[in-house]
Each structure stands twice: as C-alpha cells, then as structure tokens.
Amino acid sequence: MQDRIYLTTEEAAAYLRLKERKLYELVAHSAVPCTKVSGKWLFPRAALDRWLEAGLARPEGMQPTNPPPIIGGSQDSLLEVAVRDSGCGLALLAEGSQAGLDRLTRGEVAIAAIHLHATPDDDAANPAAIRAEPGLFDAVVIGFARREQGLLTAPGNPLALAGIASAVERRARFARRQQGAGAQLLLTSLMARDGVSDGRMVMAEGVCATGQDLALAIRTGRADCGIASRAIAAAFGLDFLPLVWEHVDLVMRRRTYFEPATQTLLAWMRRPDMAARARELGGYDLAQSGEVRLNR
C-alpha cells in the first residue's frame, strides 16, 4: 500500500484506521480528500497525509501559531484580481519574492508569491529554492501562472532600445527593484547570460517596490526602462520588449493548503473567470495553474 499513489476505499479506510462506513460519511460531507473515477472513490495517499497533519494536535509550545491571512512576496496583476474576485479574504503584501519567503518562514504570512531566477529560463528555480530552505520542510508549491516578463520603455520606445545590452550601451536609466525581488534577480541573470557588466549600468534614483512603481517611474520620466510583466506595461501604456516567460508560484505550509481561504482562492483559479481575466491583462499562460509543483 505504501507505494501506491491512489488508494481504494478499503485501502484508505485501513490506512486511516477507520471503518469503511465512517470513511463514506466523511466523503459524503466533503471532509476528506478524494476523487471519483468510473463510479469508484479513490484517495490520494499524499493528500491523506496532509489532511492528517493539518489536524495534528501538538503539545503547548510546539504548535505554531496560525499565520495572518496574508499573501506576501511578489506583486502580480492577475493575483490581485484573483484575491479580490474570489472573495477569499486574504490580503496582499507585495515586497518582493525573497521578502515573502522570509516572512513565510517566520510565520508572518500564510502564503508567499514567488518568481525566482537562477537562470532566465530555469522552470525549476522556484521549487529548487524551496527545497533549499530548511525552515520550509513542510512546504507546498502551487503553480499560479506563467507570465511574460520583458523590458518596459516609455511609449514609442524613444531611445530605440532592443534589449538589455542595447539599454546599457545607450546609457538608459534602469529603474531599480529592491534586493531579493524576482524582477531584480531576473535582470541580474539576463545580464550574466548576455555577458553585460552591471558596472556599466546607469541606475535611476530611488528603489521601486513593485512593478507598478517601476512603470510609474518610467511613465513620469524618472527612469528610461526596467523589468516587469507585459500586463504592467499594458496597464500603464508603456512599450514592452519581451524577454522571458517565468513561473509565478504560491508557497505555503501544508496546513495552510487546507484552510478555507486557500481553498476558496484555488477554486476560483479553476473557474473560467481566471482565464478570462488573464486574457484581458495579457501575457499569461495558465496551462499549469493550480498544479502542485512541489510537496515536501
């Protein structure tokens, strides 16, 4: 049984040490993770493990306090829509991917939205980063969306920029994101890939906390260019030079996955509304939305 991914009703009852009748009662009340295939109930063993751990009682001092209902980490336009329109009750605190992970580890947020980059085209960067975090030994990584990132410029691209190397060569002023922000990590990796020295970059004054702040800096003339998503460029009427597609993932602890707020958000992500809003914003791919990308 231990090597089976899906258990039958009889096997699941034995695994949980319940009578089959009691298990059917739990199924009838949607109180246990399961799925129905050709008229038969199947129970994902990994999901049963998470379900058990979510209700685990611990001695005083061992039980971690419930984190506040906040999604920290990276800013994303579609995520803002999903949180608002789903009615999940979660708040957003956009400070950058690494800041969100740090808060998640400390129990200051329930979920972290991340897009990390070891190399520009590394689809496994987010799960790899979570595996390397000893404090997130019980983490689950859920795919939210893939989005297109690129170089934003003023309307009409007045400096005729063709990419990162071109912007550095033409002494364009780059809008700066905070250290640990996914966009700043992406910019660093793109420069390394193209062999561009950061010592030649001209940086605009100030630090932009979010993609919207970066777009506003370009729109007002404080900066000439910067890294952000296609959706941000469209919202602010800026030109967009596509560079790479990246994963935006939601990281949480296993117990948070089963919280009503999280389940409400995930349920909305499976609805046609999510796809419709993604098309409106532009630059999103939902092929892996809602998938479990890592379960530690």
For residues 184 and 171, what is the distance between their CA atoms, to the nearest angstrom?
18
Q: First vs last Cα of the chain: how many Å apart?
A: 20
pLDDT band at 123 (very low <50, low <70, confident <90, very high): confident
Instruction: Give the pLDDT confidence score for residue 101 in this predicted structure.
Output: 93
For residues 152 and 203, what is the distance between their CA atoms, to the nearest angstrom?
15
Which pTM was predicted?
0.78
45-93: per-residue pLDDT in tens? 877 877 776 666 656 555 456 899 999 999 999 999 999 999 999 999 9
Instruction: Give the pLDDT confidence score for residue 3 in this predicted structure.
Output: 62
* CB 274 within 8 Å of CB 96: no
- Indicate the SS3 state at residue 264: helix
Distances (CA, A) of 2 to 7, 12, 24, 96: 10, 11, 22, 39
Q: Residue 275: is its pLDDT beyond 70?
A: yes
Report the mean per-residue pLDDT for the chain. Answer: 91
* Residues forming beta bridges with residue 71, ordered by sequence position: 92, 111
For residues 11 and 20, what is the distance between their CA atoms, to the nearest angstrom?
9
- CA atoms lying within 13 Å on the CB side of residue 287: 7
Other CB atoms within a 10 A radius of the CB of residue 185 amount to 22
138-184: per-residue pLDDT in tens? 899 999 999 999 999 999 999 999 999 999 999 999 999 998 899 98
